[in-house]
Amino acid sequence: MTIWLEEFTQRLCGNIMVYLFPVLFGYCSWELACGGSNMHSFKDLNAFGSDRAGALKSTCSETPVSVLQRACKTSLNCFCIIRDNSAKTMGLVSTSNSVFKGVDLHSRTNNTEHHTSEISVDQLIVRRGQPFILTLKLAQPFNPDLDQLTMTAETGNYPSETRGTMSRFGVPNKIPASASSKAVWKAELKKGSSPETGSLTLTIKPPADAPIGEYKLSAKHKEEKQVLANLSVLFNPWCSDDWVFQPVDAQRQEYVMNEHGVIYRGNNSQISPCQWDFAQFEENMVKICLKILDLSVKYKRDPAGDVSARCNPIYVGRIITNMIHNESTFGVLEGNWSGNYRGGMNPAYWSNSYTILKQWYDTYYKTVKYGQCWVFASVMCSVMRLLGIPCRVVTNFESAHDTDSSLTIDTYFTDCGRAKPSGDSVWNFHVWVEAWMRRPDIANNGKYDGWQVLDPTPQEKSEGMFCCGPAPVAAILNGDTRLKYDVPFVFAEVNADCVSWLIKEDGSKMKLLSDTKKVGQCISTKAIGSNKRMDLTDAYKYREGSEKERAVFVYALSSLTNGAGEEENGHMRSTRRMGAVDDMKNDKPSAPPPQLHIQFEEDSRPVIGEDVKLKLVLSSDSTVTRLLSVNISVQAMRYTGHPAGNIQTEVTEQKLLPGEDLSIPILVPFLTYQKYMVQCRNMTFSTIITDLQNKENRYLAERHINLMDPPISINVTDEGRVNQPMTVEMVFMNPVEDTLRNCTLTVSGSGLTEETTIKLQDLQQGRRLRVQFTIVPYRSGERTLLLDFDCSLFRDIKKSCSICVQA
């Protein structure tokens, strides 16, 4: 018997596990416990075909040699992988007369070089276009001039050289490649090897266009073939030949390696940052993310073609947008905007992606309930970063949902100022992701390379399935709505014009307002290297009101009406009436601008649990007194722009004196809006004002209010160290004259603690809640602790703090 690596010849005491897999036939897998009474259960290596387990005890007096001789007495030809009780791989040894005696994958070294050591230091995970090393031990000398080592890398169930899912290569490189071969791997004998002793250190390089996924690496020498390893291959933003290459290191660190994010919600005048834990390097994330690809409808229809197409980040991005939501079978998340979240979690509950993805994976791909746009986008960002595609989460405030590609959003109001549901809508905010990649499929000059919009929220179909993008941000900026994928839809989200209509009692419509500047405000993402907000609006559109902005709008609309918007190659169908472009060019107001100025003002930002106070301020250029009928409506609004309930309505007659402002106070008591705000944080104040001296003159104004949560404080008293407990304290004061029931506190944070929910006692009015708990950090670096406080009146109040964890 030959044992490779010196530590295997030493006597061991403690718990070890031995994995055995056959070279040719049979199955074998054992558990071992040395010098202890506790038997540990270890799974066999399914990747190598082992599916039957047994148990074996050894003593401290035995060497690994004798243990393995006993363990392998029923298998004439097998390899063993030795792992200690910390699951650290010690090496691979042979128990037979095989020419292959061992392999060292150098997983820690390789993973560090390939920027994957945050994922694992035991499992080999490499990036395409970049070499890695392994050391192969043969039982006999190897002569590069006479001998040939043939290696094979293959992925998927139907490996093929012509599809790029299998590659045959060798040392020396004498294996002829077929002219139709794609994604050819290469290997070289590293300097410093000792082939005369049978020790070969090889440098192996997957090509920069290799499909990503799980690979089986095998070797053949003379007539014997042996599986050497299973490894994962990911995209490589560090490699200039990879389509996802990102040349700026600070951006690679932020958009690939950073596990912490900030999601922006609220509205354009009250932007609320929300901390999010992408947690892309947590346990089993490689398996989870690759399983998402394996369950797609594209894979089911054509598994060989799908695996081959995974060389293309454009294709992979579209698949992921389709798989994040439940409109696809086995989709990760179910969307719910109803306000009724029975059977699942309020979308506002989630603070990290890993909890969602792990639940989906552990329940055999059962869709997780529930998500909304920022949850879909954040989970997708985690998957993209894990796979190696630079990705960031982006929020568009005043985001249009244009259902017919007309680039116009029509909204309707009743006489009392209440908004009515309609097919089109303007969301307070909408969240998608941007991914960094080249787009040679639409231009060879790199014009459309760079950031691409991908939207996993299921809204409209593209090529027959619910997915959106990648749409180049450069194409959106310039109104290139002819280009794929889904540029017209995203262009409308940031550029559509809004027309407001009054529905009269007789059912007739009256145009109240046309607004070309409302949509697409404060487009936001987290800044590089900090938690500050970075504004991306200028990357998506030219300055509102400028000649360039209007020219781009007309150009985009013209492209659609000329038929370029048909659903072909990822384009969206345009149904705008003929002549619409001429209408836009000749669109002039039918009457002079109204001589009435309307503004909602607030003294301070409203906090949920307190009365909401605003003022409606009117002024006029008129030289005479004006008699006005003022209808003020307050509605609870979902962030999607759809009403969730009518809170109150007020109608008064007012006199507006010339040269003076008229201030009308508005009070919405907490008890009046309380029931609407349990599942909602948004109010819309709208007013329709009628000139009683000329009732055809009607004026509309709106103001969206996003209520702030009551404050929570976090105190961390201990210094953070890996595997050392530290104490955290949360303090919350009940701000309302009512008892808070069903109180819970959820704690999470990648590298700090597994997600844990603590049930708390009821909190009486005016009382303070103080909760202490312990966390044990398990990874070093800058980490973010996330808290979610939930109760009967306040749902999912968030708080976070940064903790620097020392190794």
Picking from 184, 148, 146, 179, the residue whose alpha carbon sits closest to that of residue 164 is 184
Question: What tens digit of pLDDT does each residue of 326-335 get?
Answer: 887 899 999 9
ω before 485 within 30° of 0 (cis)? Answer: yes
What tokens does 526 get? Answer: 């987290």
Least-confidence region, from 370-374, 694-698, 726-730? 694-698
**Bridge partners (DSSP) listed for residue 535:** 524
What is the predicted pLDDT for the residue at 346? Answer: 94
Q: How far apart are CA 576 and CA 214, in angstroms?
A: 46
Q: How far apart are CA 769 and CA 181, in angstroms?
A: 66
Q: Return the active site residues.
A: 373, 430, 455
Please enumerate in sequence order all residues whose Cβ is within 8 A of that of 183, keeping only pairs 6 or more positions apart, or say none: 164, 165, 167, 206, 207, 209, 210, 211, 311
Which residue's entry shows tokens 């698949």? 319
What is the predicted pLDDT for the residue at 423? Answer: 74
Question: What tens digit of pLDDT does each residue of 610-656 get?
Answer: 999 999 999 998 889 999 999 999 999 888 888 889 999 999 999 99
pLDDT of 150 above 90:
yes
What tokens does 95 get? Answer: 């128990």
Consult the annotation and say whether 653 binds a ligand: no
Q: How many CB atoms lie within 10 A of CB 203?
A: 16
Averaged pLDDT, 732-748: 94
What is the predicted pLDDT for the residue at 39? Answer: 27
Give CA 252 to chain center in angstroms: 16
Averaged pLDDT, 703-724: 91
Residue-averaged pLDDT of the chain: 84
Question: What tens digit of pLDDT does each residue of 231-288 get?
Answer: 999 999 999 999 999 999 999 999 999 999 999 999 988 899 999 999 999 999 999 9
Q: How many CB atoms lie within 10 A of CB 81?
A: 18
Task: Give the DSSP letter string of 752-798.
Answer: TEEEEEEE---B-TT-EEEEEEEE---S-EEEEEEEEEE-SSS--EE
Ordered by where they begin, the domains of the chain are: 6-98 (no CATH), 120-234 (2.60.40.10), 249-584 (3.90.260.10), 596-706 (2.60.40.10), 712-806 (2.60.40.10)
Consult the annotation and say whether 661 binds a ligand: no
Question: What tens digit of pLDDT does each residue of 753-780 get?
Answer: 999 999 999 999 989 999 999 999 999 9
Question: What tens digit of pLDDT does each residue of 57-104 get?
Answer: 344 444 444 555 444 443 334 445 444 443 344 444 554 578 999 999
ω before 658 within 30° of 0 (cis)? Answer: no
Look at 154 and 565; give whichever has higher pLDDT.
Answer: 154
What is the predicted pLDDT for the residue at 49? Answer: 35
375 by DSSP, 3-state: which? helix
Q: How far apart are CA 464 and CA 572, in angstroms?
A: 11
Look at 694 and 126; give whichever has higher pLDDT.
Answer: 126
What tokens does 609 get? Answer: 């649990």
How many Cα neighbours within 13 Å face the side chain of 773? 20
Q: How far apart are CA 132 and CA 106, in angstroms?
A: 9
- Strands 30-34 and 54-58, by their bridges, are parallel
**Bridge partners (DSSP) listed for residue 169:** 151
pLDDT of 477 above 70:
yes
First-last CA distance in the chain? 40
Confidence (pTM): 0.84
Averaged pLDDT, 198-208: 96
412 by DSSP, 3-state: which? strand
Alpha helices in 363-401 (DSSP H): 373-387
How many Cα neighbours within 13 Å face the side chain of 484? 16
Question: What tens digit of pLDDT does each residue of 24-55 get?
Answer: 333 333 333 333 323 223 233 333 333 333 33
Output Rg (C-alpha) for the chain, integer angstroms: 31
Look at 444 and 88; give whichever has higher pLDDT.
Answer: 444
Sign of the dihedral through C-alpha 525, 529, 532, 534: negative
pLDDT of 430 above 60:
yes
Please enumerate in sequence order all residues whose Cβ is within 8 A of that of 264, keeping only pairs 6 or more positions apart, or say none: 271, 272, 273, 274, 395, 397, 429, 431, 524, 525, 533
96 within 8 A of 80, measured Cβ to Cβ: no
Consult the annotation and say whether 544 binds a ligand: yes
Consult the annotation and say whether 566 binds a ligand: no
What is the predicted pLDDT for the residue at 44? Answer: 33
What is the predicted pLDDT for the residue at 545? Answer: 87
pLDDT of 708 above 50:
yes
Averaged pLDDT, 477-484: 94
pLDDT of 533 above 90:
yes
**Bridge partners (DSSP) listed for residue 619:** 597
DSSP secondary-structure letter at 194?
B
What is the predicted pLDDT for the residue at 594? Answer: 53
Averaged pLDDT, 707-717: 92
